[in-house]
Amino acid sequence: MLACAALVNRWTVGLFRGARALDFRDVFDLCSRWSLGLGIATSALGLLLLRTHSKLLARLALSWVVLALFLVADRLLLAVLGLPLWIHDPEAHFRHRPNAVRLVPGGSGKVVRINCHGFHDQEFPVEKPAGELRGLMLGDSVTMGHMLTYEETFSERLEALLDERDRRSRSHQIINAGVQGYSVFQEVLAFRDALRFAPDFVALGFCMNDVTEPFVVQREFGGTGVDYHEVQEESNPLLGTLRNETGIGRLLLYLDRHRSTEEQRKLWEDYNVRDMVLGSTTEPRYREAWEVVLSDLERAYDLAAERRLPLFLLIFPYAFQVYDPAYREPQRILLEHAAQHEIDVLDFTEIFRREVVLDEGELERQLAAGTSTDRILELHTAEWGRFYLDTNHFAPEGHRLVAEGLFDLLLREGLVSDEPRH
């Protein structure tokens, strides 16, 4: 056990994991601490046994050694398999692992750092300093900043804009509470938990897969209970920890990966975003999905109203919605529903269109000629690729547009002022 602690630790992780050492540093450190603690305890027990020669203690010591070896083996297995960026949550299914540090996939060398509160954000105190304006950003991977560092997200860019231009508040803290894969019901839970930070306003980012994803992932709606987060859904906290935070639990998830992936592939065929966009009001399965998501949005609206917090709904379009108005039925549904609840909406569809579409006449001719949306995206990759990493995640330039749009909205709502102080 002591040898394991000496060989498997945060200082030797580079020897075993090379370029991915950063992703495994926490599990190597965990294995080292468990091995060291159990090794010291076992050594002390052995010394005590040598002094007493008690048969009862000898039997207990044997049981202890078996248990300790099992625990060390489990930690070693965890060091081999690693832990994801997310941790089990009995209510929300998963959330960010506090203090986690991971490399962004793809070899860019970028690093995602999760703070002690579980946010893709810098560290900040729970108690709000006097004179500080705090905003809470809720959402999924678009809000979180998929494939980006925190400095590239619209949360940080908005904070920088406020520091530069707002003359009303002494300081600003824009809290990035976005989590990859979150749907609206999870964002409501995050909203409730983040009230302890005393935000002055809330922005909820809505992406189109918020309508379909619950039916692929959540068991309640026939989903698999596990997705690319590699966190098994479980309502019991203890069982959830055993299944997701132990070496054996991770091994079972790894062995079951192929089956769950195949199930999800079939579910995504039934619940894909493009079909949802076109069948939002006509197909029963998508009408049901909209009923669920609009109900969850109402919960967010009610929570904001109870706390007298301004809440803004941000509509994040897919790239094909920017080019083709025929795919904008979800925007109409969201705008109509928000108006019924007197919620301010910032629809980024037209904002992105003004920046992305460089030749409106050419686009109109292509649409009139019946050119498929996929072909249009292929023809205009250089244009929308400046603002999108893929068809739904924003590149840094896209996040810049969101930050600027949000600043203008806060200015119109009177939450900030760019007038000099008198």
Are 379 and 366 in contact by the 8 Å Cβ rule? The answer is yes
**Residue whose tokens read 């705008």:** 335
Bridge partners of 138?
A: 204
CATH code of the domain made up of 125-213+271-412: 3.40.50.1110
**Residue whose tokens read 């569809």:** 349
42-92 pLDDT tens trace:
999 999 888 887 888 888 999 999 999 999 999 999 999 999 999 999 999
Are 10 and 25 in contact by the 8 Å Cβ rule? The answer is yes
Domain map of the chain by residue range? 2-81, 84-114+219-270, 125-213+271-412
Q: Which of 378, 380, 388, 381 is nearest to 349 (CA)?
A: 388
279-299 pLDDT tens trace:
998 999 899 999 999 999 999
pLDDT confidence of residue 269:
64
Q: How many helices (H) and strands (E) does the chain have?
A: 21, 9
pLDDT-derived band at 422 (thresholds 50, 70, 90) equals very low
| Token digits of residue 46 | 């052995």
Q: Which of 2, 6, 55 is nearest to 28 (CA)?
A: 6
188-225 pLDDT tens trace:
999 999 999 999 999 999 999 999 888 888 777 777 77
249-266 pLDDT tens trace:
999 998 887 777 777 777
Strands 93-96 and 111-113: unpaired
Distance between CA 57 and CA 211 in Å, rounded? 60
State which H helix or E strand residue 223 sits in.
none
- What is the 8-class DSSP label of residue 414? T
Q: Is 315 helix (H, G, I), strand (E, B) or coil?
A: strand
Q: What is the mean pLDDT of residues 302-325?
A: 97
Are 219 and 187 in contact by the 8 Å Cβ rule? The answer is no
